[in-house]
Structure 1
Amino acid sequence: MKVYLDNSATSYPKPEDVYYSVFNYMKNIGANPGRGGYANVLEGDRIIFSCREALMKLFNFNKLENVIFTSNITESLNILLKSVIKEGWHIITSSMEHNSILRPLSNLKETKHIDLDIIECPESGILNIEDFKKAIKLNTKLVVLTHASNIIGSIQPLKEVGKICQKKGIYFIVDSAQSAGAIPVDFSEIGCNALAFTGHKSLLGPQGTGGFLIDDDLNKEASPFIEGGTGSLSKSITQPDFLPDKFESGTLNAPGIAGLLAGINYITKAGILSIQEKEQQLCQHFIDGLLNIPSIKVYGSKDASLRTPTISINSTKINNAELGFILDRDYGIMARSGLHCAPLAHKTIKTLAEGTLRFSLGPFNDKKDIDYTLYALNLILGSV
């Protein structure tokens, strides 16, 4: 038996139509969107347009041309941060961030001499709003936060943060890597200026897909980050200043975007709330079972309704790397051990030294996967 529980790294399996759409594009369309006027190019253009439209509807966004494609969310966050932030800005983020935020900000602290505040979260992983309010300064220009932790699934109070940012005229960027496709993500309701997404996790698309949505206010602050061919204004040697071309130089991953469109269509048809409800039920069942194993510590909230289905554990009996290895070797259960590219989050939950064993559920997991995993954990830890 094989059980895949590493959906926070990348979702697997994908809906069947995702595989078909990628293959169909490569075999039967093949052309480079925006580069020509023949039928296959126009078919590629239609797929790119349809995926922008699907993302706009999924995130309750209102400007099609402001939906930008990149190769992954790390690229998206780098573009947003490095094209927008100016020297001397005060930036606020949290201790629960992934390195895709922490590393660019650390670089900008050195190169653009930004003033950076990283608010320490409690072990719950949830930002304290009062701490956030106290961190705001006269020169605070930007807040950047992850929606949900990639280690313990804690969900940040983005709506409250967004309201404060709007009231004070502070830009707000959201990292939706662990939330988009798993829980509702509403651009308008959050009140952010930009939302970065990845295609290959809970949006169920292929690896190598991602992007961001940006409003006109933040776009005015942003400079082009990568410059080159766009298929538009080709007689000019300067980068177009209109969207999406401003941020989309070079060939798009059209086969991947075709697959991403299929993934989003699957989510739309299934219903994001239905997906969330199923995953919450499985997550709660798993947490309850883990809490019945005496040697296991579960990090984060024990209430599945307050988190995404990403669960980190450690055992007092065995190192998490060895436990993960045994689960894979002897039981075919795939989970990720160690550190998860978020060192300050590990420090927050006091696991920086050893990391955690992380189980992350997806829409194609079922109760028998969870019961089998709990059975295997009981056997392993009962024999150690």
Structure 2
Amino acid sequence: MNHNRSFIYMDNAATTWPKPPSVIEAMERCMLESAANPGRGSHTMAVKASRVLFETRKRLSKLFHIANPNDIAFTLNTTHALNLAIQGLLKPGDHVIATSLEHNSTRRPLEALKRTIGIEVTYITTDAKGVLDLKQVEDAINERTKLVTAVHSSNLLGTILPVAELGEIARRRRIRLLIDAAQTAGVLPIDVTAMGIDLLAFPGHKGLLGPQGTGGLYINPEIELEPLLFGGTGSKSEEIGQPKIRPDRYEAGTQNTVGLAGLAEGVRFVLNETVETIHAKEKALTYELMEGLQQIPGLSILGPDVGQERTAIVSFLLEGVDPSEIAFLLDQQFGIAVRSGFHCTPLGHQTAGSYETGAVRLSPGYFTEKSEIESVIEAVKEINVTLTARA
């Protein structure tokens, strides 16, 4: 893909960019032809809008191996999906097991429920590279354990957690498994049945290559969540309570039809390319980036070593240098967009030993070019030389 741009985008872990041109075309077409309220009318344009939503559910179901597309509730993003899952499932006195790699989108709802309704949360600490001890998870389960929740891949370390093994434990112990797929949806194979995932929270704007303001939550048909929002659904309008039927129960209000049209096209792109192809390319770029950065004196990379499985996330520290200064120089002097700071995962930084400083995060994507990786390595080298000389 010809980017036609004068800068290098290395912040795909936050939002992927650029998007396939077909995603933009699908959104424009939807705005022109089918941007009425889905499920709120029987006229031609409203029916077209409803078809946009159903087609998006069908494609997501194919990607995640979900039997019934109506078990997917659309949300604004992964954060919204995680809140729906956590607040909709847990009751006073329930016990939850989470990991020390969780994003604040999981941690904060859990901590809020600790304060408000008295749930109990056990955080299983991984090692500094993000390796999870499954025995610790199993040992933490008690008679009140309702949920195990885990990020599929750390947005700081790139570590991939053993979801299928967690699913096996959860099934055997008759508890539910919630997975945060913010960094893996569209990048790693996900089969909710084979992996034992009861609740899958995913974004539309990252690996699925759709626009911001899109995402969803897969809800196992055996699970009945309390809705996060109440309101109009276009169905059972004569009833005072929220309807029981899916997905209406969890989708009060007008949906982002135009955005979901873009998401449908992003998912189509992923299905055609295959997640295996996407991951293989991103992994190769990531290893090349790591190998180059490792040659820089005083630079340390967080997470798994080169050659070990990981997502396309490379977080690093330069000894004695504030990560925010590195990010500023990369942006202002070299035109390279990165992310510095705590990445909304203070637990992850505590685990990695970078809590005092934060880190610089580089995240190539499927459309990143080899020449851009080389340019990033050279830019970090030059910054290191400059800052070293200044010191």
Matches within 5 A, 1:261-276: 261-276=264-279
Amino acid at match of 1:51: T
Q: Does 1:160 align with 2:176?
A: no
3-state SS of 1:306 partner: coil
What is the match of residue 359 of structure 1?
362
Amino acid at match of 1:139: R
Deviation (angstroms), 1:305: 4.5
CA separation in 2, counterparts of 1:213 and 1:303?
33
CA separation in 2, counterparts of 1:289 and 1:183?
25
> 1:89/1:64 Cα in 2 relative to 1: closer, same or farther (>3 Å)?
same
Amino acid at match of 2:222: D
Q: Does 1:325 align with 2:328?
A: yes
Q: Does 1:307 align with 2:299?
A: no
3-state SS of 1:49 partner: helix
3-state SS of 1:188 partner: coil
3-state SS of 2:169 partner: helix
What is the match of residue 183 of structure 2?
178
What is the match of residue 347 of structure 1?
350
CA separation in 2, counterparts of 1:196 and 1:83?
13
Deviation (angstroms), 1:224: 2.1
Q: Structure 1 length normalisation: TM-score?
A: 0.98
Q: Deviations over 1:114-143 (max 9, x none)?
A: 111011111011211111111111221111
Q: Does 1:192 align with 2:211?
A: no
What is the match of residue 223 of structure 2?
218
Amino acid at match of 2:30: Y
Q: CA RMSD in A?
A: 1.0
Give every structure 1 segment of 4 or more consecutive aligned residues whose post-TM-superposition deviation is greater than 6 Å.
none
Q: In 2, are the aligned partners of 1:171 and 1:218 still within 8 Å (CA)?
A: no
Amino acid at match of 1:11: T
What is the match of residue 288 of structure 1?
291
Deviation (angstroms), 1:23: 1.6
Structure 2 stretches lacking a partner, 5+ long? 1-5
Q: Does 1:376 align with 2:376?
A: no
CA separation in 2, counterparts of 1:32 and 1:255?
11
CA separation in 2, counterparts of 1:40 and 1:305?
50
3-state SS of 1:354 partner: coil
Q: Does 1:50 align with 2:47?
A: no
3-state SS of 2:194 partner: helix
Q: Does 1:7 align with 2:7?
A: no
Mean CA deviation greater in 99-108 or 132-141? 132-141
Choose from 100, 104, 115 the match for 2:105: 100
Q: In 2, are the aligned partners of 1:338 and 1:357 still within 8 Å (CA)?
A: yes
> 1:4/1:304 Cα in 2 relative to 1: closer, same or farther (>3 Å)?
farther
Amino acid at match of 2:36: A
Q: Deviations over 1:241-288 (max 9, x none)?
A: 111011010000000000000100111111111111101110111111
Q: In 2, are the aligned partners of 1:93 and 1:117 still within 8 Å (CA)?
A: yes
CA separation in 2, counterparts of 1:134 and 1:236?
45
Q: In 2, are the aligned partners of 1:281 and 1:304 still within 8 Å (CA)?
A: no
What is the match of residue 232 of structure 1?
235
Deviation (angstroms), 1:29: 2.1
Deviation (angstroms), 1:339: 1.0
Q: In 1, are the aligned partners of 2:291 and 2:306 still within 8 Å (CA)?
A: no
Deviation (angstroms), 1:20: 1.2
Deviation (angstroms), 1:317: 4.6
Deviation (angstroms), 1:28: 2.6
Q: Does 1:133 align with 2:108?
A: no
CA separation in 2, counterparts of 1:267 and 1:240?
33
CA separation in 2, counterparts of 1:174 and 1:52?
19
Amino acid at match of 1:366: E
Q: Structure 2 length normalisation: TM-score?
A: 0.96
What is the match of residue 86 of structure 1?
91
3-state SS of 2:193 partner: helix
3-state SS of 1:352 partner: coil
Q: In 2, are the aligned partners of 1:280 and 1:309 still within 8 Å (CA)?
A: yes
CA separation in 1, counterparts of 2:295 and 2:30?
48
